[in-house]
Structure 1
Amino acid sequence: MSESVSVRCPACRRAHTYSAPSYPCPCGAPVAPPLDRHGAPAPVRHRSWDEEWLTVRCAACGRPGQWPRPELGCPCGTVLRVPVSRSRAEQAPEPLDARDAVLAAARHLHRLGHRDLRRADHRPPSGVALTAPGLLAHVDPSGRPATPRDVECLWLTAMARSVDCAHFSRGGYAADARARAERLGVALHVIGPAGEVRAVGAPGT
């Protein structure tokens, strides 16, 4: 849930509680602009394309995106532009390297009860394959969104071994890759910039 701030209309002095709407990042995480609690709202008198959008980085994958600038309509008829914390919106997280991503995935699998984790004998087209009794996991630290082909290759390899499978990606998943994983029952996970792991879709939860 996005944070709430108190916004007072400078025209009629009426106070409002405002929460910025969130929008889905390509990785699947909700993104909302960080609001400035100490800033003053400004009435919107003129509109220009450049002022309608701002850059906000996803806290889960670090990807920057263009999002609508938050606004609030007061009952008095004034449209207010809600102030945003610019430094927090554009702050870039420290990227993980490939080793960090693999360790984050291994820690997550260990917390889920998978023991005896090790590198798999086969090498996937990209990234690292991990195996545990009854499980095959693919970790892609490249930062690019995973594709349906990535999901299908993992699923086929797991089917040949008669084990479950899980995919971990630093770059999130294309929409069609998420849809394919839902149909095939592949558990998807996003590895965030600080090494946190979040499940994406029903099979991973």
Structure 2
Amino acid sequence: MSESVSVRCPVCRCEHLYAAPSYPCECGAPVHPPLDRGGTPTAVAHQVWDEAWVTVACAVCGRRAQWPQPELGCACGTVLRIPLTDGTAPDPAAEPAASAAAPPRRAFQPITIRTARDAVTVAALYLRWLGYQDIRRADQRPPSGIGLAARGLLAQVDPTVRPASPRDVECLWLTAMTESAHCVYFSLAGYTSEARTRADSLGVPLFVLDLTGTPQPVNGLADDLGG
């Protein structure tokens, strides 16, 4: 369990008790961002993608991965960024040697979706679970939602309440074509029937993000990708 720390809002001086969420490492162990108990939280004026993710080492296997930067919403409307310690990773020389055969992939660990940022986080974690590393903000901003990119892949995450349209799917596909990359679409509100048909004809995997935080495949292409 992650320890709780006392956090004081620098704007309204209100006190909060905060515990960082845990995330599943590839080895199966829970990873907790190391909170700095003596640090001072900062107010977030503008969300910047590179600042919204931090590198944390798994305390069990030492694997380093990027996870969402701990943040807390104060009742006064201020978003507080919680300070972290440097964190420590086990000595690589002390890590067990990798086995010759790759272990079976563990089940995806969902994260409850409450905000648009949660939807983007779930999509990024799912892509990492599929094997894509170095997930980052896409260079080109899509017409709607948030664009994510990895080597050879472009993904669009639409956290709005409007079902994705054929044009949304086509724009993603065209952008991916210009970058010689595959593409995948995540939508919180689903897709119109025309969008599903268009995605099948273009070869675009479609996922729906349910509120439990588990991406659900919508077409056969998504089934094949997540299988």
Greater relative contact order, per chain length (Cα 8 Å cut-off, separation 6+): 1
TM range (shorter): 0.5 to 0.7
Q: Where does structure 1 differ by over 4 angstroms across 4 or more consecutive aligned residues? A: none
SS of match in other structure, 2:157: strand
Q: Deviations over 1:39-70 (max 9, x none)?
A: xxxxxxxxxxxxxxxxxxxxxxxxxxxxxxxx
Q: Deviations over 1:2-43 (max 9, x none)?
A: xxxxxxxxxxxxxxxxxxxxxxxxxxxxxxxxxxxxxxxxxx
Displacement of 1:95 after TM fit? 6.1
- The answer to whether the aligner puts 1:102 opposite 2:115 as a matched pair is no
- The answer to whether the aligner puts 1:125 opposite 2:136 as a matched pair is no
Letter in 1 for 2:210: G
Q: TM-score, normalised by structure 1?
A: 0.53
- Whichever of the two has the greater Rg, that structure is 1
Counterpart Cα distance in 2 of 1:167 and 1:190: 8
1:167-182 mapped onto 2 (5 Å cutoff): 167-182=185-200
Displacement of 1:96 after TM fit? 2.6
Q: Deviations over 1:113-159 (max 9, x none)?
A: 01010001111111100000000000000021100000000000000
Give the corresponding residue for 1:202: 220
Sequence identity of aligned pairs in percent?
54
SS of match in other structure, 1:152: helix
Displacement of 1:175 after TM fit? 0.4
Q: Deviations over 1:157-201 (max 9, x none)?
A: 000000000000000000010010000000100000121111110
Equivalenced residues, count: 112
Give the corresponding residue for 2:129: 111
1:26-65 mapped onto 2 (5 Å cutoff): none
Contact 2:113/2:119 (<8 A) preserved: no
- The answer to whether the aligner puts 1:153 opposite 2:171 as a matched pair is yes
Contact 2:113/2:213 (<8 A) preserved: no
Counterpart Cα distance in 2 of 1:125 and 1:153: 8
SS of match in other structure, 2:200: helix
Q: TM-score, normalised by structure 2?
A: 0.48
Contact 1:146/1:169 (<8 A) preserved: yes
